[in-house]
């Protein structure tokens, strides 16, 4: 995973793994260490790890996992009792608050938000940009939230089983997205065909989403059959207004005069899969739906289902115009 990436690209936020359950606190180690300790190899006694990518967080082992979409900060348990929760998932968010603190977790730069309390609920967050992962904790007290946030680690030789659904993506593309996301984490995927209405849809994973396994492990994706063939896609070039944008290290700045349109062309085996997000005409973004064959730094942005393969910062001269990219 490329840790030199200083910012993430604004895009969708995939669905979250949510862990909820009864409460237990591990003993806090208040003895500061003068040197950076290595990442742990296992969670503390009585705790399990759940995660997203290589980011893991310790939660009490008697908690239950819910990947079905519970979005309330304190999901209700048996008898209507509100329980603390941990949400961990993929994000491309790079928004930070002036109150956020820059921290280092196992040698990786992260952002930790201060714990805020409102009535009977407290919330805190850790964002790990290089891993495109977030951890959000809710609890009854500030100490509960801090205790769980202290259990966040980045462990390179472990990875979490990816999510099986992708925001704003068609169900029939699940199988390939799941495989490519898993492979980007060093996991291998075996398809298990099951019955269903949408061929290619992943209905479940084994182990379940969020489960932390060793890199190199095989995971099973239950895919509605027949599994659609995976198209070959091993070459792509994107040229915008005469500038080759992809592959490119930085956005390309193109000057337009009033009334001038922006012309682009994609060529190569992947060309037919490219589309453009032109909701902001001043900063169009080209997207590829799959990662295969793209450069590592771009393929890594595909985990949520789309890769930004190039962008153009448009500088207009003369009077502002609503220039729209012209699809070629």
CATH number for the domain spanning 201: value is: 3.30.10.20
Same domain, 25 and 145: yes
Rounded to whole angstroms, the Cα distance separating 216 from 322 reads 50
Q: Does residue 232 lie in a domain region?
A: no
Shortest CA distance to 125 belongs to which of 26, 67, 62, 55?
A: 55
pLDDT over 80 (residue 25): no
Q: Does residue 317 lie in a domain region?
A: yes
Q: Does residue 231 lie in a domain region?
A: no
Same domain, 299 and 248: yes
Shortest CA distance to 259 belongs to which of 314, 316, 311?
A: 316
Q: Does residue 4 lie in a domain region?
A: no
User: What percent of the chain clears pLDDT 70, i.e. is strictly above it?
Assistant: 76
Which of 103, 129, 156 is a domain's end point?
Answer: 156
How far is residue 44 from each of residues 4, 26, 249, 253, measured CA to CA in Å? Answer: 30, 8, 41, 50
Q: Are 161 and 205 in contact (CB under 8 A)?
A: yes
Per-residue pLDDT band at 5 (split at 50, 70, 90): very low
Helix-then-strand count for the chain, H and E: 3, 24
pLDDT over 60 (residue 27): no
Same domain, 136 and 26: yes
Same domain, 177 and 255: no
pLDDT of residue 68: 39
Strand order in the sheet with 243-246: 243-246, 237-240, 262-267, 325-327
Q: What are phi and psi of 142, to 5 degrees?
A: -60, -40
DSSP type of residue 273: G
Which of 184, 201, 224 is a domain's end point?
Answer: 224
Q: Is the peptide bond before 226 cis (omega within 30 degrees of 0)?
A: yes
Same domain, 149 and 181: no
Q: Number of folded domains in the chain?
A: 3
Shortest CA distance to 149 belongs to which of 209, 85, 70?
A: 85
- Across residues 280-296, what is the average pLDDT? 80
pLDDT of residue 83: 66
pLDDT over 80 (residue 320): no
The pLDDT tens digits for 47-98 are 999 999 999 999 988 887 764 333 343 444 444 455 678 999 888 666 777 8
Q: Does residue 316 lie in a domain region?
A: yes
Same domain, 26 and 141: yes
Residue 210's domain comprises 164-224
Rounded to whole angstroms, the Cα distance separating 161 from 149 reads 21
pLDDT of residue 263: 87
Same domain, 195 and 302: no
pLDDT over 80 (residue 130): yes
CATH at residue 137: 3.40.1000
pTM of the model: 0.71
Report the sign of the C-alpha dihedral through residues 263, 13, 6, 288, in that order. negative
pLDDT of residue 17: 59
DSSP type of residue 170: -
Q: Does residue 31 lie in a domain region?
A: yes
- Mean per-residue pLDDT of the chain: 78
Q: Are 20 and 69 in contact (CB under 8 A)?
A: no
pLDDT of residue 192: 96
Which ranges of the chain would DSSP assign to H, the alpha helix? 142-149, 174-184, 296-299
Same domain, 89 and 73: yes
Per-residue pLDDT band at 258 (split at 50, 70, 90): confident
Q: Does residue 1 lie in a domain region?
A: no
Same domain, 136 and 265: no
pLDDT of residue 300: 65
Burial class (CB in 10 A: 0-12, 13-18, 19+), 36: exposed
pLDDT of residue 117: 92
Same domain, 78 and 52: yes
Same domain, 83 and 149: yes
Which of 224, 249, 271 is a domain's end point?
Answer: 224
pLDDT of residue 19: 54
Same domain, 85 and 170: no
The pLDDT tens digits for 157-184 are 999 999 887 766 777 878 888 988 898 8
- Across residues 104-118, what is the average pLDDT? 93
Q: Does residue 9 lie in a domain region?
A: no
Q: Are 113 and 53 in contact (CB under 8 A)?
A: no
What residues form DSSP beta bridges with 121? 118
């Amino acid at each position: 995973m490329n840790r030199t990436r200083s910012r993430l690209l604004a895009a969708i936020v995939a669905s979250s793994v949510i862990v909820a359950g009864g409460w237990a606190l591990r003993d806090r180690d208040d003895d500061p260490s003068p040197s950076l300790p290595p990442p742990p190899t296992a969670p503390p006694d009585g705790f399990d790890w759940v995660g997203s990518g290589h980011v893991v967080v310790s939660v009490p082992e008697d908690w239950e996992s819910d990947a079905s979409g519970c979005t309330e900060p304190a999901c209700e348990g048996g008898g209507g009792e509100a329980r603390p929760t941990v949400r961990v998932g993929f994000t491309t968010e790079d928004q930070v608050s002036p109150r956020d603190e820059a921290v280092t977790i196992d040698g990786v730069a992260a952002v930790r938000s201060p714990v805020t309390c409102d009535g009977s609920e407290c919330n805190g967050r850790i964002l790990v940009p290089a891993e495109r992962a977030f951890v959000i904790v809710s609890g009854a007290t500030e100490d509960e939230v801090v205790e769980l946030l202290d259990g966040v680690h980045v462990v390179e030789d472990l990875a979490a089983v990816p999510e099986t659904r992708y925001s704003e993506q068609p169900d029939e593309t699940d199988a390939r997205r799941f495989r490519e996301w898993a492979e980007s984490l060093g996991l291998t995927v075996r398809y298990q065909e099951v019955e269903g209405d949408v061929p290619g849809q992943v209905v479940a994973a084994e182990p379940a989403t969020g489960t932390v396994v060793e890199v190199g492990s095989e995971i099973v994706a239950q895919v509605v059959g027949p599994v659609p063939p995976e198209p070959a896609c091993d070459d792509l070039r994107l040229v915008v207004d005469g500038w080759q944008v992809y592959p490119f290290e930085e956005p390309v700045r193109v000057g337009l005069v009033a009334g001038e349109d922006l012309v682009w062309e994609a060529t190569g085996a992947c060309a037919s899969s490219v589309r453009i997000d032109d909701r902001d005409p001043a900063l169009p973004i080209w997207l590829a739906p799959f990662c295969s064959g793209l450069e590592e730094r771009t393929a890594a942005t595909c985990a949520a289902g789309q890769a930004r393969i190039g962008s153009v910062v448009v500088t207009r001269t003369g009077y502002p115009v609503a220039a729209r990219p012209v699809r070629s």
